[in-house]
Amino acid sequence: MGIKVYHQCGHNTNWNIGSFEDGVGDGLILSPVHAKLETIQKRKESIKEHSIFDPQYYLPNSQKAKLKSYPFFPETISDGFATQEFSLIAAESARQCVQFQIEQNFERLVIPARYFDQLEADYCSRQDVYSVVPFLTALSEIEHNKPVYLTLPMTSHMIEREHYRTMLLNWATKHPQIDGVYVIVKHERNSKQVQSSEFLKAYLDFLSELRNADLEVLVGFSNTESLLYSLIDDITVTFGAFENTRMFSEDVYIVTDEERRGPKPRIYLPGLLNWVQFSQAKEIMDERPDIWKKIYTPTPEGDLKLSQATEPHFSQPQLYKHSFKCLYGQFRELDHLSPQDRYGLLRGWIEIAMANYEEIKAMPMSVEKHGNEDHLQAWLDSISYYYRTHLKD
């Protein structure tokens, strides 16, 4: 029994590493799109041995400069990716990538996969040719004792179709050399939090099916809904700083000239199970300290930013480190419980959050759409469904 929590690293990885060295989190997932090869190589051994390297072959023709610093990345090794031609050098790409992961002494070895945004009927066979067979062959040629993980990048449409989930499950379990799966799902939505109970029900079903097939499960690119995945025992979940580490999108791997505005600062409030705009959080703190006491979990980082006269900038680490501590604390509360008792605690947290939002609305205050309670009913519906179908005696 247990839950592990890994940092999904991205921009400003040092924030994640600093938190991990302070005892927050159980490991890290390193991102080559955010770190050149030499940067990864220079990381301390004590960090790398608790880290997983995600090769990020999702878009093989990505022009991102840091990805291209890796000689085994598809675009780099083929000097211009083309699907048909890459099959001729996929074995060499795999050998180099496997050798890199072993030389750097990462905790687990990851087989990458390509991201498809459509319900490809030949999804599995295309992944086999692209990476799975070449990587399994390369792994068979090297002695090692590390767990091997297969990357499963999907869309929510794939997850919500039971026959497609079954196809992926059968494919993932047909390779006895694979110990676990690194599951990534792109769930398009107009909100920062997942508000679809149908998606969450299907995702919980799929994660449970993978565990029941005796595969270890690592859930990548998750927002605070990762708390719900704790209902599946012996699972590894993730948290990240910026939103592109909390929601998967292929946009991260695309070069663009579009200028992006920095996000408005938000603070994670455990008593609301949500990130709330910092300005609105301060209004609640100043006007209703009785409500604030229910929704805010004090940390040195959070206290510091809340005490300052100026609004924090998204490039400052404190609010992200605050969220790491709060979320990790919630996972530690869940960790020692049985899945049935985790359901009870999660249900209680959701119901308390709903009640806290009612008090905020009665102030009166209208919390903006990304910080409001619209996700909570879907969360409650999905975990109650999972309890009825998987946990109830």
Rg over alpha carbons for the chain, rounded to the nearest Å, is 21
Is the domain of 205 the same as that of 302? no
Whether residues 248 and 280 fall in one domain: no
Residue 370 lies in a domain: yes
Q: Are residues 50 and 146 in the same domain?
A: yes
Cα–Cα dist 360/362, whole Å: 5
Residue 259 lies in a domain: no
Instruction: Provide the CATH number for the domain around residue 80.
Output: 3.20.20.380
The pLDDT value recorded for residue 259 is 64
Range of the domain at 317: 266-391
DSSP assignment of 77-131:
HTTS--HHHHHHHHHHHHHHHHHHHHHTT-SBEEE-----SS--TTHHHHHIIII
This prediction has a pTM of 0.97
Give the strand pairing for 274-277 and 266-269: antiparallel
Asked if 96 and 192 sit in the same domain, the reply is: yes
- Domain presence at residue 260: no
Instruction: Please enumerate in sequence order all residues whose Cβ is within 8 A of that of 259, keeping only pairs 6 or more positions apart, or say none.
Output: none
If asked whether residues 285 and 222 sit together in one domain, one would say no
Nearest to 154 by CA among 58, 75, 235, 83: 58
What is the per-residue pLDDT for 393?
Answer: 79
- The two structure tokens encoding residue 180: 């676990």
One domain for residues 203 and 274 = no
Domain's final residue, options 202, 229, 253: 253
Give pLDDT, residue 35. Answer: 98
Q: How many domains does the chain have?
A: 2
Residues 281 and 267: beta-carbon distance below 8 Å: yes
Alpha-carbon gap, residue 50 to 174, rounded angstroms: 28
Residue 89: partners with Cβ closer than 8 Å, 6 or more residues away: 77, 78
Give a yes or no: residue 135 inside a domain. yes
Count of CB atoms situated within 10 Å of the CB of 1 = 9
Closest CA to 11 of 309, 340, 241: 241
Q: 299: Cβ–Cβ under 8 A, 6 or more apart, which residues? A: 321, 322, 325, 326
Final residue of a domain: which of 253, 285, 315?
253
Q: Quick one: pLDDT at residue 1?
A: 54
Residue that finishes a domain, picked among 223, 253, 283: 253
207 shares a domain with 168: yes
| Residues 228 and 84 occupy one common structural domain | yes
Q: What is the pLDDT of residue 81?
A: 87
Same domain, 190 and 318: no
Q: Cβ neighbours of residue 274 under 8 Å, at least 6 residues apart?
A: 193, 224, 268, 353, 371, 372, 373, 375
Collect all residues with Cβ–Cβ distance below 8 Å to 214 and sequence separation of at least 6.
none
- pLDDT per residue rounded down to tens, the chain (393 residues): 589 999 999 999 999 999 999 999 999 999 999 999 999 999 999 999 999 999 999 999 999 999 999 999 999 999 888 877 898 899 999 999 999 999 999 999 999 999 999 999 999 999 999 999 999 999 999 999 999 999 999 999 999 999 999 999 999 999 999 999 999 999 999 999 999 999 999 999 999 999 999 999 999 999 999 999 999 999 999 999 999 999 999 999 999 876 667 789 999 999 999 999 999 999 999 999 999 999 999 999 999 999 999 999 989 999 999 999 999 999 999 999 999 999 999 999 999 999 999 999 999 999 999 999 999 999 999 999 999 999 997
